[in-house]
Amino acid sequence: MADWGPIFVSYVLFVLLTPGLLFQLPGRSRRVEFGNFQTSGASIVIHSLLYFGFICVFLLALKVHLYLEGLMAADWGPVVISVVLFVLLSPGLLFQLPGRGKVVAFGSMQTSGLSILVHTIIFFGLITIFLLAVGVHIYSG
């Protein structure tokens, strides 16, 4: 039976913590800016740390699952995969799809609503492949 809990939590956190969509910490001209569709290296680092903290809380501490299963060792696979994908797919860091005036812009540190939507769809596809189809697991304890 597939556990959709890690995918759902990872997906929601990706959307909520994408720098520039709801907020950017630190902002370009203030400590926090809201809905500016901008990003920076520092923002991606801070948002990635926030993502890591929240994903650990939901998947390891609260053990969010969409089915009931017996107690088992902590599975770090969903945490590691989702944090790596969050960083790599943050719009504007490595690439922005679609870019402003281009199909793909590389290292632009810009984003847009459409770019966030496209990156979110890519994130969902990849997290689903890694966690359900491939079944990446890293157990501790």
* Tokens 């939507």 sit on residue: 117
Ramachandran angles phi, psi of 44, nearest 5°: -65, -40
Count the neighbouring beta carbons within 10 Å of the beta carbon of residue 108: 18
pLDDT digits (tens, 9 = 90+) for 26-79: 998 999 999 998 889 999 999 999 999 999 998 888 887 666 455 455 678 888
With contact defined as beta carbons under 8 Å apart, do 63 and 79 qualify? no
- Kindly indicate the confidence band of residue 137, based on its pLDDT and cuts at 50, 70 and 90: confident
Domain residues for the domain of 111 are 5-140
Tally the domains of the chain.
1
In the DSSP assignment, the letter for residue 38 is B
pTM for this entry:
0.68
pLDDT digits (tens, 9 = 90+) for 93-106: 999 999 988 999 99
